[in-house]
Every structure is written in C-alpha cells, then in structure tokens.
Structure 1
Amino acid sequence: MTITDAPIATRPAHRRRLTRTLLIWLLVVPAAIWFVIRGFGLERDRFIQLIAFTPYVAAWSVLPALIALAARRWGAAAVAVLTAFGLAMGVVPRALPNLDRGPGSGVEITVMTANLLFGGADPASVVRLVRENDVAILAVQELTVPATQALGAAGLADLLPYRSVDAEAGASGSGLYSRFPIADPGSSRTEGGFLQAYATVQVPGATPIRTESAHPLAPAVPESFDGWRSDLAGQPQADPGGTPRILLGDFNSTLDHKLLRDLIKSGYRDAADTTGKGWIGTWGPYDGDPIPPVTIDHVLADERIGIRDVEVHGVTGSDHRAVMATLTIPENE
C-alpha cells in the first residue's frame, strides 16, 4: 500500500461513521424539539393536539439516549439524556402521590365528572356510578335535552335533587347536579361556544363551595385552536381570599399544556396528579377509535380543599371515562 492509498481506504469507514452519527441525531432531535415546545409552552397549531401525547414521547426518548450512549456519540448522547430527563421530570411525578394533599380534616364528599358524548352516554351507567360510589356532586358535559330527561328517568333526580342545567343539542350543553342545596345557579358560555353550568353548593357543616362544570372548546380542527386557547385562559382562577372553587370536567387539555398548568398554579390542585393517578387515560379508545389514551378530564380543587383519592370508571356509550375524586371540604366556621 502506498501512502496515497491510505486516505482512499479510509473514506468508506468515514462515510459509515458520518451516516451513523447523522441517523442518531435524527433520532435525538425530534424528542429534543418536543421537550423545548412542551417545557416553554410553545404549542401552536397541530402541536396543540400532539402535545397531549407527551407521556408516550417521554417513554420513547429513552431509546435515542441509549443508542447514542452505546455508539459513543457523546454530543448526541448529552442532548438525548437531557431531553429524556427533562421529559421525565414533566410526566413521572403524576404517578407519584404528593405528600401534601391539602387539609385532612373537614367534611368528606365525592365528586364526579362525565362527558356524555353528544348526550348519547347510557344514563343507567351514569346513575349507577353515582349510586354505587356515593357521589354528592356530578358535573356533566355535552348534555342534551333528551339526555337530561333520560338521566331523570334513570333515577338521578332521586340521588341528586338539586341541579343547575343548561342543555343544548350537540356538544355545548352542560349540567351540575348536587345532593345538597345550591345557591346562585347559572351557566356561562365560553368564547368557543360551550356552556359551563355552575352553582355554589351548600355542603352541610362545610364552607360553601363554588363548583363549575368546565368544558373548553376542543382543539379538534385548526379553526378551533384560538377558541381552545381563549376558553382555557378564561377558566375561573382560584381565589385564595374568596369562596373555594372546584372546577371539574372535560378540559380538552392535559397537564402538558401550559395553559392548564397556569390555571392550576392560580391556586388549584389536580386531583389525579396529587394522588399519583395522573397517568390514567380518560379519553381516546373508549368508543372504539384507535387513539392512545390521554388524560383530558380533570378535577381541580382549591388548595384549601383536601384530596383523598381518585378513581376513573368507564361510561357506556361515551368516548370519555368518568373521573371521581374524594375531597375534604373545610368545615364551616
């Protein structure tokens, strides 16, 4: 071999090395971009929908990190490891119960939220969940007039006789049902067009609780993205100096959406996140659609309210699952 032959002989190996490095970076970069968008709340357009699947991306991001480390591509490995760690810090705590769940003493009640899928959910299934789980407050979304009548016929009025209901055709109707007397019932319409029923629930022996059935517009198509954003931004903030609030419903957003995280930071706790059950899916494949489960139904409770437990149950005829939270309401002074 002559001296001039050496560079030629090394070219294929050099090309293979460059190709492997490029392929590794192609694996690393998408998750890194995802991490930046999620971390800084930069979701726009279709990423509003995609960001809901962050837990799946977080699990996948471990693979590029392992590949980069095994291949000794240290630059790519550093980015991949930091990405996987950052995504894990965002999603892993949801599976870990919080030490601080709020006050442990007070009046204990169970609340429940259920999206009725254009009013088509089986009323007997909803009423059975209320009865068997001793639900005291029920929030429903996509409540139609026929669904209101069917729930009453199935026995809901006997269990929860007080109500604030504003039913409509389609997906915009809303309802709030209570075992206990209510005051100031009503509903408001979001900028996206959905109704949100509300009332102040008078739990015996406890401080009054302002309760609202939340339902921001779904970011289903590009034309609804602005409405989704304005509806989430317009949700009632917690009021540390006023009446404690409970927001429960179909928020059409997960804890990976910055607008929901900002709402919680105003003075709420997410019940599922607090109890270590924040990974349980509430929407997706439950009516047969091939969609990975995501958690878009939430119970948000004022920080002055204790959170004891959360359960998630299927609802026949709905693409959402019902979310129940056992809460401790402060005693009336």
Structure 2
Amino acid sequence: MTITDAPPAARPVRRRRLVWTVLLWLSLMPAAVWLLARTFGWEAGLWVQFLAFTPYVAVWTLIPLVLALITRRWTAAAVASLIAFGFGMAVLPRLVANSDRGPTAGVDVRLMSANLLFSGAEPSEVVRLVRENRVDVLAVQEFTPNGEAALRAAGLEGLLPFRQLAPEFGASGSGLYSRFPFDEQAARRNGGGFQQAHATVRVPGAGTVYVESVHPLAPHHPSVVSGWSADLREQVPAEGGIPKILLGDFNATLDHKPMRDLLNTGYRDAAATVGEGWQGTWGPYDGDPIPPVTIDHVLVDRRIGIRDYGVHVLKDSDHHAVSATVIVPAA
C-alpha cells in the first residue's frame, strides 16, 4: 500500500517518516564526502580552508548517528557509524597522549613560536612569555624591522642573545632567537615569498639540532593553493643528517595531506603527541565568528623526545604562541 492508498489518518505520519528519512540521509552525504576528501587528500580551491575545520565536523557526525539510532533507521545508523568511526580515527589520536614520545634521557630544550601579526604583538608580552616559560629558542613569523627594534628595546636580546633574523615589512619576515650559540645560520625564502630563518643550535651537554622558523604561504585564495602545497612539500624532511625541529605558522592542520606527508618524513607533532592537539592556535581572535583552528605547530624529529606542550595568549596578535619542551639526547 502506498502513501496515497493509506488511510487518511496514517498519511501524515508516513509523510513525516519519509521526510525525516530523507533529511537524515541528506545530513550524512556531506560528512561522507568530507571524510573521503580528507582521507585521500583532495585539496582544491577553497576546500583547503574548509578542511581545517575537520574536528568540528567530526563532532557533528555524532548527531545524525544518534538520530538514526533513536528513530530506528538501522541502515542509516550503520552508515553513520562508519562515518563517525572514520572521523574518529582521523581526529582522536591527536586528543590522546601517546605513550611513545621519543627519547626520555638527555637535555631539556624549551621552544616557543609566535606569529607576531606584522609585529603588532605587544613586545613586552613576548618577552614576558619567554621569561616565564624559560624559553631557550624562540621562532617568530610576520617579523618586521620595527618589530625587531621593539623586541630589542623590550629586552628580548638580553634573554636570548644569539639570533638569526630576516625581518621584512609585511608578513614575510622571520627570525630565530636563542639562549644557545649557533654553529651555522641563514635564512631561505620559500616559494611563497616568505623568509624562513634557520640555524644549527649547539645545545650544551648534547649535540647540535637544526631549528627552522616555518611560514608557508597561506591558502587564502584558490589561485595560491598550489604554492601553499609546494611550500609544505619543500620543508626540510626529518630523515638524514642531524636531528631537526620545525616550528612556526604552517598555515595547515593535521587534516591537510601535505602536513601529514611532512610528518611522515620522521617528525612528531608535539601537540598531538601529548594529547593537546585539540587546542586552536588561530581564531582569528578579533571578534569574527570563526572557530579556532590549529595551524601553529612544533614538529620534532623522532630522534628527539617530547616532554610537554602549551598554548599561550599573545596580546595584539591573531595567533596564540605555542611552546614545547623537547629532550635532546646527550652527545
């Protein structure tokens, strides 16, 4: 019997059930497409920006699952379960502390990265964060000549006297400040036009480690997505040579395939390793109704241990500062 043949009293009920069934399946389709795109690395146009919000979509997938179970639509519930499971496999590992954090014996080195928003971040706040967190190596992005002078006046160089600086007006400048001396130091301009200061840091009681202040091109428009992807592919891989640390504003989350490919060269993401990968580092924090996403990272060579990780409010910047304490094995 069709809806037309049903008794008049039953027709509204059947129509409502049909409507709810259609709506439930329609709610599952975008999540399924999202999961497939994330899994297989389809990153074209504005879709790159949407992928940064994958953790929020992962939570949302629980809603159609619960609705399907409540309404006893078992086929839809099975599909919803598979989708939720797929998102869980993608997102949950960064929310749970990993028992394998690398070497546990060696010399502690405290790292921090800060995107200074065209050096508009309050210099005294940067110095305070460095002092209170006993930072040994600081990486800065969006670092300008005026910002360099302001940080010097605020006393940063008294705390971190060794430096490799490549300040430029605009967003392309970069810098490294260190408590420890450098063996080699330079800056390279990536394909997107941003400077990336780097140095081999001589850690007392341990060997040298390579540290780079990372700032790939942001995928702010479909026309630059290929440049964004190329910048991430061209970051220094972990394997070979001395142990390495990359930290900075990567303009990518762990849901972007080029970022995952970089990790697979032999890095750990410090936040995900200690179960803090859920913390957003870029909002923006200026009142816009955009949920935070995690695009600032500390990537640590697997030959180096990870002790802890933190996210810190940075006044007058649209980014939070990120920090990590790593364990460099003794020489």
**TM-score bracket for this pair, using the shorter chain length:** over 0.9
Q: How far is 1:5 from its partner?
A: 11
Q: Deviations over 1:63-108 (max 9, x none)?
A: 0011112222222211111111110111112121100000000010
Cα contact 1:287–1:318 (8 A) shared by 2: no
Alignment of 1:40-189 (within 5 A): 40-189=40-189
Q: Deviations over 1:122-170 (max 9, x none)?
A: 1110011011111000000000000011111111111111111111111
- Name the counterpart of 2:285: 286
Cα contact 1:119–1:142 (8 A) shared by 2: yes
Relative distance call for 1:4 and 1:52 in structure 2 (3 A) is closer
Q: Which amino acid aligns with 1:7?
A: D
Q: How far is 1:185 from its partner?
A: 1.0
4+ residue segments displaced more than 3 Å:
3-6, 8-17
Relative distance call for 1:6 and 1:84 in structure 2 (3 A) is closer
- Name the counterpart of 2:241: 242
Q: Equivalent residue of 2:288, what SS?
A: coil
Q: Equivalent residue of 2:22, what SS?
A: helix
Q: Which amino acid aligns with 1:221?
A: H
Calculate the TM-score normalised by the size of structure 2.
Answer: 0.96
Q: Equivalent residue of 1:7, what SS?
A: coil
- Name the counterpart of 1:200: 200
Q: How far is 1:205 from its partner?
A: 1.3
Give, in whole Å, the separation in 1 of the partners of 2:36 and 2:306: 32
Relative distance call for 1:15 and 1:237 in structure 2 (3 A) is same
Cα contact 2:196–2:212 (8 A) shared by 1: yes
Give, in whole Å, the separation in 2 of the partners of 1:78 and 1:21: 14
Relative distance call for 1:15 and 1:289 in structure 2 (3 A) is closer
Cα contact 1:32–1:79 (8 A) shared by 2: no
Give, in whole Å, the separation in 1 of the partners of 2:68 and 2:2: 34
Alignment of 1:20-39 (within 5 A): 20-39=20-39
Q: Equivalent residue of 1:135, what SS?
A: coil
Relative distance call for 1:6 and 1:49 in structure 2 (3 A) is closer
Give, in whole Å, the separation in 2 of the partners of 1:234 and 1:269: 17
- Name the counterpart of 1:261: 260
- Name the counterpart of 1:277: 276
Alignment of 1:4-19 (within 5 A): 7=5, 9=7, 14-19=14-19
Q: Deviations over 1:261-280 (max 9, x none)?
A: 11011100100100111101
Q: Which amino acid aligns with 1:56?
A: Y
Q: Which amino acid aligns with 1:278?
A: G
Q: Which amino acid aligns with 1:113?
A: S
Q: Which amino acid aligns with 2:226?
A: D
- Name the counterpart of 2:328: 329
Q: Which amino acid aligns with 1:55?
A: P
Q: Equivalent residue of 2:212, what SS?
A: strand
Give, in whole Å, the separation in 2 of the partners of 1:249 and 1:5: 60
- Name the counterpart of 2:250: 251
Give, in whole Å, the separation in 1 of the partners of 2:305 and 2:4: 73
Q: Deviations over 1:292-318 (max 9, x none)?
A: 011110000100100000011011110
Relative distance call for 1:5 and 1:72 in structure 2 (3 A) is closer
Give, in whole Å, the separation in 1 of the partners of 2:3 and 2:29: 37
Q: How far is 1:183 from its partner?
A: 2.1
Cα contact 1:286–1:321 (8 A) shared by 2: no
Relative distance call for 1:278 and 1:5 in structure 2 (3 A) is closer
Calculate the TM-score normalised by the size of structure 1.
Answer: 0.95
Give, in whole Å, the separation in 1 of the partners of 2:271 and 2:28: 31
Q: Percent identity?
A: 59
Give, in whole Å, the separation in 2 of the partners of 1:207 and 1:324: 21
Aligned-residue CA RMSD (Å): 1.7
Q: Which amino acid aligns with 2:5?
A: P
Q: Deviations over 1:180-206 (max 9, x none)?
A: 110221111111111100000001111
Give, in whole Å, the separation in 1 of the partners of 2:95 and 2:2: 61
Relative distance call for 1:5 and 1:196 in structure 2 (3 A) is closer
Q: Which amino acid aligns with 1:282?
A: T
